[in-house]
Each structure stands twice: as C-alpha cells, then as structure tokens.
Amino acid sequence: MTTTVAGTAYDRLLSLYREGTLLGSTAEILSWDQETMMPSGGVEYRSRQMAQLARLSHEQITDPRLGDALSEAEAEGHPEDSAEHAQIREIRRDHEKATKLPAELVEAFAKLSSVSQHVWAEARQKSDFAAFKPHLEQLVKLSRDKADCLGIPEGGERWDALADTYEPGMRASEVAAVFEPLRDRLSDLIKELTASSTKPSNAFNEATIDIDAQASFVKEIANAVGFDFDRGRLDRSVHPFCGGSHCNDVRLTTRFQPTEFNDALGSTMHEAGHGLYEQGLPFSMVGLPLGDAVSLGIHESQSRMWENQVGRSEAFWKWCTPLAQQAIGTPLAHLDFEDFYGGANIVRPGFIRVEADEATYNLHIMIRFQLERAIIGGDLAVADIPGEWNRHYKEYLGLDVPEDRVGCLQDVHWSMGAMGYFPTYTLGNLYCAQFFDTAREQIPGLEDGFSRGEFAPLLGWLRENIHQHGRRYSASELCERVTGKPLSAEPLLNYLEAKLRPLYGI
C-alpha cells in the first residue's frame, strides 16, 4: 500500500468525500426511525428533514473542490492495483453520477416519483391500471432522459445506464445471457415439482405460535449465526429491512404473524445476512468507497446465503429442529425434522413476488426484467404492460392473473422510477450459489458444521473473501477472484435441483 502524506490531494479528497457520506449516514438513521419508531404525526416534518439532508449531501458530492481534489489525486499516480487507486476510481464514479444529472431533472424526478407512489398505492388497491398509466408513462419518459444524461455505455442500451446505479457495470445483454438458461431449466424443474404426487408437509407453516416467543427465538438464531448485537439491533417493521448508519451500528427489522413462523425466521436470516455484510465492512474505511458494499446484487448474495443456503438446508434444520421445539414448546411438539425441513422448502407458483419460494422467485424477476427492458428500449408501450405481464405469468408459471392488483401493480419499484433494479435480486441468488459452491470446496465439512450450530467458518470465509474489500473490486471482478469463474446460472440450478427433487420424491 502506498503511504499517504498528510496534505496530499488524496487525503483532501477523502476528507471532502467523508463529509458528504457523514450526512448520508445520518439520514439513514432518520429513515430507520421513520420505519420503526416515529409516530405517524412526524411524517411531514421528517420529509423536510430528509430532503434537506439529501440536498446537502448532494451539494457535497458535487462540490467543485471535490472535483479538483479528484483530478489532483488522479495525477498523483497511485499504482493501479493499490487501495488508493480503487478509492479514487470509485469516488470519481460517484462524483460523475451526481454531477451528470441536471438539478431540474433530479427535482422533476423526485416530485413525479413521490406523486406516482401515492397514485400507484391507490391504483393497486382498486386494481385500476388505467389510473396509474399516465404517471408511469411520464416516469418512463423521465427515466429515458435520465439514461441519456448518465450516458449509454458503448454498445449498450438505455436500460444499462439506469441499472448501473444499482449494479455498476451491469448490461442488459449480460443479464439476458445468464437469465435465459436459468429460465428454461427452472421452468422445467417447477413443472416437475408441481406435478409430483409427493409433497413436503405444510404443518410447520400452519402452526400458531406466540409472537413474543417467535421474536426471542429469531433473535437467538441471528446471534448464533454471528450477528453482533453490540454493533447492531433487531426490531420490527411492516416490511423487513437492514438499515443503520455504518458497520458498528447496523439496524435489522423483521415481521411476525401468528402462523408462518418460517417467514419470520427466513426474513430474520435474510436481513441478518445483509447485516453481517455491513458489520464486516472495515471501520477504518468508514464513509469511503472501500468501506461500502459493492452493489445491490452482491449485498443480496449475502442475505440469500444465510436465508437459503444456510437457513433452508438439511444441516441447519438438524441443528435447529430441537432448538425450535424446546424454545416454542407445544405448538411445535408434534412435528419432526421432515416437517421443519420440508416446510421450509415448499415450492408453489403464486402471483406475488415477495411471497414466492426460492425456485419460483427468479421467474418473477425475469418477467419484470424482460418487460422493463422493452419499455425503456421503446419496444413496449406502457398501455400494453398488463397484457404482456399476464401472458408471461401464464407461460412461465402456468398462472392466469385474475387482476392487476396481484399482477403488474403489485410492486412499488416502477412507481418510484426504479427501473433496472429487479435483476439485482436474481443476480444475488446467482452470486450466492456460486460463492457458496466455492466456500464448500474450500472449507472442509462446512455443512456438517451447520448441523452442530457452527457458522463461524462460513462467516470468516465471507469476511475474508468479500466483506473486507468494500468496493475495491467490481461485482464481476469479485466473482472471478473468489470463484475463479465468471457468473453463471449453473451453480444455482444444480443447487435447487439437488435439494428440491428429493423433497418432492423425485
């Protein structure tokens, strides 16, 4: 590592950048508070507080002084493989992204998306696509303008410019190349499973369990997998999420229902996976790119790993079954290991993405990706979305969508103008399966350890190979460094087929 002398352009750059991210991390705590603790009366003033912080941190990242320090730091000639070089490259990226968008466009987008979210929420409730359509048309138009300002990568398309915000460097053509083989083999697998006369028992999901008992149990599990409660919390919210301000203050939330205990446990494992990533980012790099997560796809690979590869595995349930029975008592006493493990792995095609199982989930994402790529590319009119949506659901999942409320109006993303976001969920599943295959090769007895409640070897491996690097490597570089191969659909498909077929007697 190059040593830096106080007063170099690089040092100045880091301190200017840190001023902006300090405000941003403060906004994160306000946003967590809004979702968990704030009384509803606080909404109006809170939105002004948030807008002010957003404005100030935008000012700081676009500050011409930061631009000057960037150019000077670049001229200092830090070696290409150094941490400094990566830090400067990523700050350049953030600075350019923020400066490329004209203030009027940012403001117009913010206003439109805030109104559109209200219109969408009402339209969804009434299943009235026509009411949402003019707003979505405007959002598509502004999104195209936004893509043009951000710049379409050479040989790419408008969608790429939008997706780059969530998954730096991701191209629609690359996503399609990975998604297509996945879609075909996944559709076949789902048909095979649904046609089978053997099905796992649903008794675990039907059991009614006291919510306080659920809450203390999921907290115990989060602790057991390595989430550090001295540097984090677990609270409740309507939609589970992982927030907080930095690696030493990570805020998870989860949700509970009287039944569907595995939903609470799975959500907790999922958010804990995000939280373990955040807690694994180096504090020495706090507020800097090398102390920040690579991309949404890589973040999701961490949450899915703990939720699925660990939390829905046979080995995990060997360990967890007696613990759950002991902690919960009577409601689970009549069940056996097969009920828990099978109940955690039921595959059932449905209309709603957020309720989908591990296998069908990715088909929901592919449908959204294909549609938004066509909309942004100008090949699909907004008016034709419901028809195309329903046609795809019939083709991929064998379902007849009865109304738009459970069809194309179900997700908030497009109403916020977040086009290019959806694929990060499936990319997360793909990265996850590929990372996990490598972890299994490199850690002898990895899964046997899970059956004894030993999760530290996996966490240590993730810390060393992924967490500690922050944004030093791009998602695709990281994938190649860790697994030795570019991203592929094979590991996920092999994993799903190997696990699910036996559970369905195939």
3-state secondary structure of 250: strand
Phi-psi region of 128 (alpha: psi -120 to 50; beta: other; left: phi over 0): beta
Only one residue has tokens 């028809």, namely 387
Please tell me which residue in 157, 260, 271, 278 is annotated as part of the active site.
Answer: 271
Q: To the nearest whole angstrom, how small is the minimum distance from the Cβ of residue 296 to Zn ion?
A: 8
Distance of alpha carbon 136 from alpha carbon 290, whole angstroms:
36
Phi, psi of 345 (to 5 degrees): -130, 30
Distance of alpha carbon 161 from alpha carbon 199, whole angstroms:
44
Distance of alpha carbon 178 from alpha carbon 353, whole angstroms:
20
- x-or-dash pattern for Zn ion, window 140-179, by CB under 5 A? ----------------------------------------
CA dihedral 258, 259, 265, 270 (to 10 degrees): -100
* Residue with smaller CB distance to Zn ion, 214 or 303: 303
Do residues 89 and 116 make contact, with C-beta atoms less than 8 angstroms apart?
Answer: no
Burial of 111 (0-12, 13-18, 19+ CB in 10 A): exposed
Q: To the nearest whole angstrom, how small is the minimum distance from the Cβ of residue 273 to Zn ion?
A: 8
* Residue with smaller CB distance to Zn ion, 150 or 344: 344
Q: To the nearest whole angstrom, how small is the minimum distance from the Cβ of residue 305 to Zn ion?
A: 11
Q: Cα 126 from chain centroid?
A: 29
Q: To the nearest whole angstrom, how small is the minimum distance from the Cβ of residue 14 to Zn ion?
A: 29
Q: To the nearest whole angstrom, how small is the minimum distance from the Cβ of residue 478 to Zn ion?
A: 18
Q: To the nearest whole angstrom, how small is the minimum distance from the Cβ of residue 2 to Zn ion?
A: 36
84 flagged as catalytic: no
Question: Which among 40-48, 280-288, 298-306, 478-486 is the span making contact with Zn ion, rule CB under 5 A?
Answer: 298-306
Q: Which residue is nearest to Zn ion (CB)?
A: 303
Q: To the nearest whole angstrom, how small is the minimum distance from the Cβ of residue 391 to Zn ion?
A: 28
* Residue with smaller CB distance to Zn ion, 123 or 221: 221
Q: Cα 500 from chain centroid?
A: 24
* Residue with smaller CB distance to Zn ion, 20 or 226: 226
- Total number of residues that touch Zn ion (CB under 5 A): 1
* Residue with smaller CB distance to Zn ion, 252 or 385: 252
303 binds Zn ion (CB under 5 A): yes
Residues 273-292 that bind Zn ion (CB under 5 A): none
3-state secondary structure of 470: coil
Distance of alpha carbon 279 from alpha carbon 269, whole angstroms:
15
Distance of alpha carbon 306 from alpha carbon 271, whole angstroms:
9
* Residue with smaller CB distance to Zn ion, 84 or 271: 271
CA-nearest of 167, 166, 148 to 157 is: 148
**Token pair of 247, please?**
């690696």
**Token pair of 2, please?**
């190059």
424 binds Zn ion (CB under 5 A): no
* Residue with smaller CB distance to Zn ion, 269 or 328: 269
Residues 316-375 that bind Zn ion (CB under 5 A): none
H or E element in which residue 361 lies: helix 361-376
Query: Which residues form the interface with Zn ion (CB under 5 A)?
Result: 303
Active-site amino acid positions = 271
